[in-house]
């Protein structure tokens, strides 16, 4: 029996949950039925749209756009503030209901998760019957709706759940890819960010099907490793392992929730530098080197995305971690405001382990050595060790990168 995975996604979670709370307290108007958004402040006109009603969507209002833009599109737009404690409560209730079916749940964010249906398949006539039972129970018991996507891996299940909304069940099995997924715009593909889509358009690749039939080596020339990843996704290739919360995380990482949303790549790079130094220091303290790195982004909309690459040879260098993190960020970021950034390393090995180098690594090392006689790895290692010693003796804030120093603006009258 092949593995069956559900992707369960709450329809406009923040707005739906807020609507239910207001109806419970006696409000006669359901904000899901009028142009309404969650997020921002009408008086200050600051903030972004965290969730929108279907009538608000009809005005062209998009999740993640500034509220000032949304108000221009719909002057009568109703705005409600977010209530994250209430959202967490609804999320817990949802996950508890799903775990009454199976413990094999991987929660992606407050309003979406994967469920491995394989182990409970014998209890239902078909996966579609099970999905309808779960979807209808959620609507009847909690008052909000979900979309459920069904497939053999997580990628296709997630793609399926994004088909027509709300309150729907969709399948996207491998044999359905050509009919259901390939005709879609390449911008609909998971992990196809704004920058990647623009590159693909220049290559005259506009649909997922055209991407699937492209030469992956050609895509790598223009989009590096992300090009091959998108090609794999376009062909329906994805992970089929649902990682439940109980699975032990084998890696070292760090993340930070930002006091203000980051809106430029320059700002994000400063945060990634800080995180790289933190993770590199922890790797060295543990006597480990990392063979892979993942960058995680949580947008202001609370949507979580991540992107991973291998590191060969494995490293514990701040500079190399930072370089890889910047590459991943550039490929992943879709331009929306960022609430949280994180770096996670995995495939750890002892720092004393001998390094295995393939032919391509060897040639690259020769090229780098020819460009600069002193090996970069040695310089990185000595610098990192020196900084570790200073921080150990005088505290973490004893050494600060110049990138973190804000330039003081002088009064024009004082210049001269």
Catalytic residues: 112
How is residue 303 written in tokens?
A: 């949507």
Residues linked to residue 340 through DSSP beta bridges, in sequence order: 257, 298
Tokens of 279: 């993770």
Helix (H, G, I), strand (E, B) or coil at 46: strand
Distance CA(311)–CA(25), nearest Å, equals 54
Q: Which residues contact 175 (CB under 8 A, 6 or more apart)?
A: none
Which one, of 273, 284, 274, 282, lies nearest residue 253 by Cα? 282
Tokens 């027509």, residue?
164
**C-beta separation of 267 from 339 below 8 A:** no
And the tokens for 166? 């709300």
Question: How far is the C-alpha of 219 from the C-alpha of 203, rounded, in Å?
Answer: 9
Tokens of 9: 């996604």
Residue 407 structure tokens: 């330039």
Length of the chain: 416
Burial (CB < 10 A; 0-12, 13-18, 19+), residue 358, is: exposed
């Amino acid at each position: 029996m092949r593995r069956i995975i559900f992707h369960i996604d709450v329809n406009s979670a923040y707005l739906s949950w807020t609507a239910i709370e207001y109806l419970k307290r006696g409000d006669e108007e359901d904000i899901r039925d009028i142009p309404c958004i969650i997020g921002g402040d009408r008086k200050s006109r600051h903030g972004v749209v965290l969730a929108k009603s279907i009538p608000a969507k009809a005005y062209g209002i998009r999740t993640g756009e500034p509220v000032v833009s949304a108000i221009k599109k719909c002057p009568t737009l109703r705005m409600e503030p977010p209530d994250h404690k209430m959202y967490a409560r609804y999320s817990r209730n949802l996950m508890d209901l799903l775990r009454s079916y199976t413990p094999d749940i991987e929660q992606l964010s407050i309003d979406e998760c994967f469920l491995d249906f394989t182990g409970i398949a014998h209890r239902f006539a078909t996966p579609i019957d099970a999905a309808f039972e779960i979807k209808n129970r959620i609507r009847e018991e909690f008052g909000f709706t979900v979309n459920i996507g069904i497939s053999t891996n997580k990628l296709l299940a997630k793609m399926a759940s994004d088909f027509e909304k709300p309150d729907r069940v969709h399948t996207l099995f491998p044999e359905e890819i050509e009919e259901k997924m390939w005709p879609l715009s390449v911008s609909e593909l998971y992990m196809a960010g704004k920058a990647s889509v623009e590159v693909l358009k220049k290559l005259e690749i506009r649909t997922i099907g055209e991407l699937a039939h492209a030469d992956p080596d050609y895509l790598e020339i223009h989009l590096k490793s992300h090009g091959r990843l998108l090609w794999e996704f376009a062909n329906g290739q994805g992970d089929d392992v649902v990682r439940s919360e109980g699975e032990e995380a084998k890696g070292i990482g760090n993340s930070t929730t930002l006091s203000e949303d980051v809106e430029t790549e320059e700002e994000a790079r400063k945060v990634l530098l800080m995180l790289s130094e933190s993770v590199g220091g922890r790797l060295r303290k543990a006597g480990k080197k990392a063979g892979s790195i993942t960058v995680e982004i949580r947008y202001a909309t609370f949507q979580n995305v991540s992107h991973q690459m291998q590191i060969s040879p494995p490293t514990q260098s701040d500079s190399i971690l930072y370089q890889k993190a910047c590459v991943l960020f550039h490929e992943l970021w879709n331009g929306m405001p960022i609430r949280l950034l994180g770096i996670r390393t995995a495939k750890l090995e002892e720092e004393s382990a001998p390094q295995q180098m393939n032919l391509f690594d060897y040639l690259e090392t020769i090229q780098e050595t020819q460009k600069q006689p002193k090996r970069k790895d040695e310089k990185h290692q000595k610098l990192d060790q020196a900084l570790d010693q200073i921080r150990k003796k005088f505290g973490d804030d004893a050494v600060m990168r110049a990138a973190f120093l804000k330039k003081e603006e002088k009064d024009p009258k004082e210049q001269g």
